[in-house]
A and B are shown apart, each in its own frame.
Chain A
Amino acid sequence: MSWLHFFILLPLLFAIIIPILYKKIPKIHTGWFVVIVPLSIFVYLLTFVPMIAGGETAMYTLPWIPGFNIDVSFYVDGLGLVFGLIISGIGTLVVLYSIYYLSKWREALHNFYVYLMLFMTAMLGVVFSNNLIVLYLFWELTSISSFLLIAYWYARRQSRYGAQKAMLITIFGGFAMLAAIIMLGIMGDTFSIRELFAQGDQLVQHELFIPAMILLLIGAFTKSAQFPFHIWLPDAMEAPTPISAYLHSATMVKAGIYVVARFTPFFGGTMEWFWLVTGVGLLTLLWGSLLAVKQRDLKALLAFSTVSQLGFIMSLLGMGSAALYYGEGELAHLHAMAVLAAVFHLVNHATFKGSLFMVVGIVDHETGTRDTRKLGGLLSIMPISFTLALIGSLSMAGLPPFNGFLSKELFFTGTLNASSLDIFRMETYGFLIPVIAWVASVFTFIYSIILVFKTFFGKYQPERLEKEAHEAPWGMLVPPAILALLVVMIFFLPNVLSDYILEPMVASILPALAGQFDFHIEAWHGFEPELFMTIGIVVVGTILYLTLRKWMGLYNNLPRALTITNAYNSGLRGMESISRKITDAHMTGFSRDYLRYIFVIFVLIVGTHLFMMDAFSFETANVANINLFEIILSLVLIGATAMVVITRSRLAAVICVGVLGYVVALFFVVLRAPDLALTQLAIETVTVALFLVCFYHLPRLRKKEDGDGFNIPNFIIASAVGILVTLVALSANGHRIFPPISDFYLDAYELAGAANMVNAILADFRALDTLLEIFVLCIAGLGVYTLVKVRLARGEKNENQ
């Protein structure tokens, strides 16, 4: 347990007291308490910066399940640290913003902040985990907490739809990633990322290398909303705006990028990785920017813009992975610039997109709509919001003097370098990369302009807005203003950021090149092709924006039936109807049918196995002597069982079941297992009491009306189960391959200080079993409670009607 462990789990621990704070101190907005958590994490993580900038890393390990190579080890390097800073930094601003965005009177704040804190721990866990299994655990936790946050306003149908869509798609990807993780575990015989990377060179030839790569990428692509999995992100915009700003632009959607970056040292340098990551990234970049232009809802526009920008970063990571092919030298350095551009844009995107989301939230909050057709002319009413929107949008469009310009120039450099590659068959298709990048950037420019102009210029139409527009309170303006300030500051001082933050990050993505390079980011780099590309974007983009009306109609020609969302919807409907049919076929509502299915399957599986493996054996050598007393007990047992079946009286049946229980307890006594006997007796007593309680209300036992009372299939099934269990029991005794482990427990007194071996096993050696057993008991109790109470509640309602 280290401080890092504590701070990663801090949001989770804090989540426990949020509902109490919400109930006990309703006068103060709960957000004011919550904001301390991300802030303290941010400050704590800042203390790592000097160490990381010095090229060092740190690892904190906590053993968890050492037997399976699973431990909670957190690893701090450039990549993880920057993500951690973004998560906690933007997290602080988002919580601050949400204090003004969510009303403390109307909203279920305790739910909101509990989910948010859950998410924060999950996200921090993902970026710092060194163990793949732990990483997967946190990875799925991000999906679940995101589901809860998207469905925060769960009364709305669209919110539920969006939440379900996001969860189905990202968890599907998560399963793919789990398969990849298991494959990696098989390949390297470890789940530690560090140890796996150390064996990277030998594992390239492994037959599971490519399948693991593809499955891992599916996981990363679904999370980062890459084409064709991007369809969940626009629907996720049903979440409250602080959530959209936080999860769906700055943090969670970047988890996929994190994974791609994290695994670049392992998979990078191969042709498959290069093409998959670059290709999907470019496709997403282009598709997202094309669709963003057509959106009328500002948040949907930003959602598609995020999709596009994620593709941007993804493609750069793909192109930069070529550096690992060269390993060192001038060419490697050239392509490493692409990775620098990727991480640089990652930081830039978090700043400008975070602020843009918050500004759109302000517009929504103050006017009641996000529809570009209704908005307009807000410039004079909301000047501060306008300034923030302008800064964010121009940065997104890639214009100076904002940080987006720098990373976009680097992006063009990266594409031009990639197109001149002579490996990976780039000589044939390489020219496409800069072309796609340029076209996508033109559309990026257009939607950035749309965002500002349609909202803040034009005619103010108060009659179409839901409420009179006015400037937001300062508390809502401060968080985006801080981000906008960063946007400008990074433009003027990019190399401070680069030296302290970005270079360690590149070093952890391209470890082979660590220490070999020294990047210098410049705003002015002469009359290079990149600059002309930017000028071309502004010129063509402006012309296209002015003629927007003329060609917007082209979007209507896209066939609606062929969209991916449509495919998702019909797929969902199809799955639902198929599973309904399957369920209807076997869920008849009669427990005798269920028992029949269970027993038939049991007999088929176990019986076939016993037969196929030729596993039956009957060994009398190690059987103890049977004395008269045991024979009598067995006869009583058989007699009581027979009585249960034959009797027509429920009381007699209950008594016979009780007899069975007590006879089994006597067996335990005879076989010298007093603990078991004691437990069995007590349980039997409580069970009889339970019977007494509900006996009065049970219906009378009735003979089955149909048939002659003798059902041949049932007879066969029952006999088969009985015979099979006997055979298995005999075989279990006949096969003694390994020496019994009971000798270990004989040392219970030395190991656990308990003379009672059974109890030492229960409380010390196998305490987890006991713990889970009481969980089961608790769930059973609550299950009975809800079954009874829910039915009661419904009955009362009927009475009222």
Chain B
Amino acid sequence: MKTNDVILQTVASVSAFIILTFAAYLFFAGHHEPGGGFIGGIVIASALVLLYLAFDMETVQQGIRVDYKILTGIGIGLSTITGVGAMLLGYPFLSHTFEYVTFPFFGEMELATSVLFEVGVSLAVVGATMTIILSISEDV
């Protein structure tokens, strides 16, 4: 069954970018506003799901050549390593720190090591969610 879904595809490809931008905003807002790594990851996953729904699986896979299982592993590995990093410096596992740094263009900004941890969380969330959805939808 092949249907003509030009409108859906056009809307999806535009709105996917909007959603991904929103996801990026949510991710970085997390430290001070509602948002964060987990929710950022979920929103990225929903953008991807939208693309998969609008286009067929092969088309999207050609554009986004990512093995989501490996992505999950990378995410978990990254989060764990940020925890181990603290141990190497003699602090308890998963200790995080933050610092205010003045940048030439952006002015004073906060840099926190927990952002790295959150990146890992996001990747793991995207990877696991997409693994689940894709393996179920591939099972025809």
Contacts and interface: CB of A to CB of B under 8 A. Distances in A.
Interface of A: 1, 62-64, 66, 674-675, 678-679, 682-683, 685-686, 689-690, 692-694, 697, 752-756, 758-760, 762-764, 767-768, 770-771, 774-775, 777-778, 780-782, 784-785, 788-789, 791-792
Interface string B24-55: 00100011111111110011011001100100
13 contacts: A62-B90, A679-B42, A686-B49, A756-B36, A758-B34, A759-B35, A763-B114, A763-B118, A768-B94, A778-B128, A785-B69, A785-B135, A792-B139
A758 B76 CA distance: 21
B131 A781 contact: yes
Contact of B120 (A63, A756, A774): A774
B62 interface: no
Given A690-B133, A753-B110, A778-B124, A767 B34 contact: no
Contacts of B59: none
A785 B131 contact: yes
B5 interface: no
Interface in B73-100: 73, 75-76, 79-80, 83, 87-90, 92-94, 96, 98, 100
A759 B30 contact: yes
Contact of A778 (B32, B127, B140): B127
B39 to A, nearest CB: 5
A286 B46 CA distance: 70
Contact of A674 (B34, B37, B53): B34
B120 to A, nearest CB: 7
B139 A788 contact: yes
Contact of A756 (B34, B124, B127): B34
Nearest to A776: B128
A784 B132 CA distance: 6
Nearest to B140: A697
A694 B137 contact: yes
A686 B110 contact: no
Across the A-B interface, the 4 shortest Cβ-Cβ residue pairs: A781-B128, A753-B98, A755-B32, A781-B131
Contacts of A674: 34
Nearest to B92: A63
Contacts of B32: 754-756
A480 B137 CA distance: 59
B129 interface: yes
B92 to A, nearest CB: 6
Nearest to B137: A693
A693 B136 CA distance: 7
B138 interface: yes
A771 B31 contact: no
B12 interface: no
A788 B76 CA distance: 23
B90 A754 contact: no
B35 A678 contact: yes
B111 to A, nearest CB: 9
A752 B96 contact: yes
Contacts of B110: 753
A753 B31 contact: yes
B119 to A, nearest CB: 11
A3 to B, nearest CB: 13
Contact of B94 (A767, A791, A792): A767
Given A679-B38, A781-B131, A756 B79 contact: no
Given A683-B42, A774-B121, 12 more contacts: A1-B88, A678-B26, A678-B39, A686-B42, A755-B31, A756-B33, A756-B34, A759-B31, A767-B114, A768-B94, A777-B125, A778-B127
Contacts of A690: 132-133, 136
Given A678-B26, A770-B121, A785-B135, A764 B69 contact: no
Of B33, B37, B80, B128, chain A has the most CB atoms within 10 Å of the CB of B128
B8 interface: no
B34 A693 contact: no
B18 interface: no
A449 B45 CA distance: 71
B39 A764 contact: no
Contact of A763 (B34, B50, B117, B137): B117
A63 to B, nearest CB: 6
Contact of A774 (B31, B128, B133): B128
B87 A763 contact: no
Nearest to A673: B34
A782 B69 contact: yes
B45 A686 contact: yes
Contacts of A697: 139-140
Contact of B136 (A755, A760, A780, A784): A784
Contact of A689 (B26, B73, B133): B133
A682 B131 contact: no
Nearest to B34: A674
Contacts of B98: 752-754
B112 interface: yes
Nearest to B43: A682
A788 B33 contact: no
Contact of A775 (B35, B76, B88, B136): B76
Contacts of B38: 679, 762, 770
Contacts of A770: 38, 79, 117, 121
Contacts of A689: 46, 49-50, 53, 133
Contacts of B83: 767-768, 771
Of B42, B73, B80, chain A has the most CB atoms within 10 Å of the CB of B42
Nearest to A768: B94
Of B46, B69, B83, B135, chain A has the most CB atoms within 10 Å of the CB of B135
A437 to B, nearest CB: 49
A764 B136 contact: no
B94 A754 contact: no
B6 to A, nearest CB: 20
